[in-house]
Structure 1
């Protein structure tokens, strides 16, 4: 009974008015990205004839642009592989997509802190490119390339200019940052947003935005609530000495343990944030925390099964080993150089 009460208390402590408002704004921002960002403009850079440096660059930040999660990235990964995307950019996309999901990054900053938030974003981008390049070096020679670039040309209509879209997203981001701490600024930004929507957006676009936001919230909020509840339960049942013993310091062993744990556990979108936060409260070192945040969203047992069907067993095992090993190495390096 006390364990269940710990889970309930975690929900009560977490779901403050300020956090609920931040959550709502974050969902609207993510819904806007999903609705108004040009997916066609992104996907065309994964074609077999695209310049590789552009493919890797776009793939490494695609999670923020496409607002993909660990579940939706798999069919997209399978699709671009089937259409002829090189294994390097495709794997970069596979890793980076869920690793820098907008909602996950926002709540890493909000709940775990700015230091680990920045480390997660930058490390995920760099690591995704390294993993993609290594996979390309190892397996690109055996690739069968379909040169039909037209399969990647997805046309999307957008009557607004790039700067109008940029202003819209900057205002949304400003509202998220100001939040409830600066109510006057938030009101000013909100009024500005209303003006921008009135001037540049059609009614149907706004309805589509609300619909996409609702779809995201419907999928993720229940999982997130479960994640917060589980985090409270874990805090109650895991002894602090256990956490300190295995991942309480910044060694290569503790970082690899965190990487392996993250790789084989299933973290639904956003649930890794409250769970990892509870591990930190129990004594988990920041280096292993980063290793877990890097490996966790990109891998899980269900994820591995799907990837193996797309890439084959050998390539999948290589990918898993690269993710676990490099996540552990990055956690160790950042723990020694940045987290202290």
Structure 2
């Protein structure tokens, strides 16, 4: 068991966490005469290290995930979802969301397509919640920073929110709250040509380039904010605002995250810095979930597809689920960190 633990620690710290890169950057900066123990030097080191680490992991993960996704084009996904009924359909939709686009704005067109195809509304909402909140990329990136226990629980709780939220929306019978042009739309069943390995790799690489261009600005902004929090904001301030002495920290973090627009790759460095400064685990994870699931731009897009009543219920269900999960993570933090 000790040998397995040693191997896992090496994998998590040196492969996923890329601590060797951090040490290398520190050595190079020191050799250039920059003091990495000072605020400026430490900020530069944090920025360079986190940017390279996230973009490298992002590229590898998107390549793998996009290759898998090439087996699930929209028409095939619709057929798969159409075979299941009841809560199993919600579970499959939530799981399917883990291998689809990385932000809510990219997921909404698929949600519209699934709804137009006649899939149950609750099923399509399970997909819409899961897709930006939980994906294979988030599992690996969270593992590289917070450890496997936090990463696995984050994904499980995210899937629970997606399944429960979709099931509740289905029970409320809100189909008349979908805009008519979507309810009356028709899906054309286009035969999918069989792709070969080279075609799938080409598709995966195109997704890497396209996604990297799309998320790079948010990663840079997120890492910049993280570096600022990590080295310039006093620890006492973070602990007071988001630590255990503030019982409303989870609610505050969820609300603060909503107006922002980023994906999980841009929010992770902020969460990492907040946690290092003394913020509670549930607080930083609620912030991440709020940003990725309920960002203002994605809600504006979703309003074009659904009426205000359904949009409000969707926001309420997601926010309530995120807050509950946040407090739950706070309660079990001492067991998993």
**1:124 shift after superposition:** 0.5
Contact 1:63 1:101 (8 Å CA) reproduced: yes
Seen in structure 2, the aligned counterparts of structure 1 residues 205 and 82 have a Cα distance that, compared at 3 Å, is closer
Aligned to 2:272: 277
Contact 1:45 1:55 (8 Å CA) reproduced: no
Q: Please tell me whether residue 267 in structure 1 is matched to residue 262 in structure 2.
A: yes
Per-residue CA deviations over 1:250-291 (Å, capped at 9, x if unaligned) read 875222222222223222351011111111112110122232
Distance 1:87 1:317 in 2: 15
Provide the aligned C-alpha RMSD in A: 3.2
SS of the counterpart of 2:227?
Answer: helix
Seen in structure 2, the aligned counterparts of structure 1 residues 322 and 66 have a Cα distance that, compared at 3 Å, is same
Which region of structure 1 is more displaced relative to structure 2, 280-289 or 149-158?
A: 149-158
Per-residue CA deviations over 1:98-140 (Å, capped at 9, x if unaligned) read 1113323321111232222112100000111111122222234
Distance 1:136 1:203 in 2: 41
Which region of structure 1 is more displaced relative to structure 2, 49-58 or 101-110?
A: 49-58
Match of 1:30 among 57, 65, 78: 65
Match of 2:310 among 307, 315, 320: 315
Aligned to 1:304: 299
TM-score, length-normalised on structure 2?
Answer: 0.75
**1:314 shift after superposition:** 1.5
Unaligned runs of 5+ residues in structure 2 are: 1-37
Seen in structure 2, the aligned counterparts of structure 1 residues 314 and 252 have a Cα distance that, compared at 3 Å, is farther
Distance 2:80 2:188 in 1: 8
Q: Please tell me whether residue 41 in structure 1 is matched to residue 76 in structure 2.
A: yes
Alignment of 1:190-229 (within 5 A): 201-229=196-224
Q: Please tell me whether residue 60 in structure 1 is matched to residue 94 in structure 2.
A: yes
Aligned to 1:156: 192
Q: Please tell me whether residue 113 in structure 1 is matched to residue 147 in structure 2.
A: yes
Contact 1:69 1:101 (8 Å CA) reproduced: no
Contact 2:283 2:326 (8 Å CA) reproduced: yes
Q: Please tell me whether residue 100 in structure 1 is matched to residue 134 in structure 2.
A: yes
**1:222 shift after superposition:** 4.0
**1:44 shift after superposition:** 2.4
Distance 1:32 1:126 in 2: 26
Contact 2:177 2:306 (8 Å CA) reproduced: no
Contact 1:44 1:152 (8 Å CA) reproduced: no
Aligned to 2:233: 238
**1:31 shift after superposition:** 2.9
SS of the counterpart of 2:326?
Answer: helix
Unaligned runs of 5+ residues in structure 1 are: 160-200
**1:62 shift after superposition:** 1.9
**1:68 shift after superposition:** 4.0
Distance 2:213 2:189 in 1: 31
Distance 1:37 1:106 in 2: 21
Which region of structure 1 is more displaced relative to structure 2, 82-91 or 296-305?
A: 82-91
Per-residue CA deviations over 1:306-340 (Å, capped at 9, x if unaligned) read 22221111211121122122211112123324644
**1:299 shift after superposition:** 0.9
Number of residue-to-residue matches in the alignment = 296
SS of the counterpart of 1:151?
Answer: coil
Seen in structure 2, the aligned counterparts of structure 1 residues 251 and 61 have a Cα distance that, compared at 3 Å, is farther
Contact 2:282 2:330 (8 Å CA) reproduced: yes
Per-residue CA deviations over 1:131-177 (Å, capped at 9, x if unaligned) read 11222222347468999998375543447xxxxxxxxxxxxxxxxxx
Aligned to 1:11: 47
Distance 1:266 1:4 in 2: 27
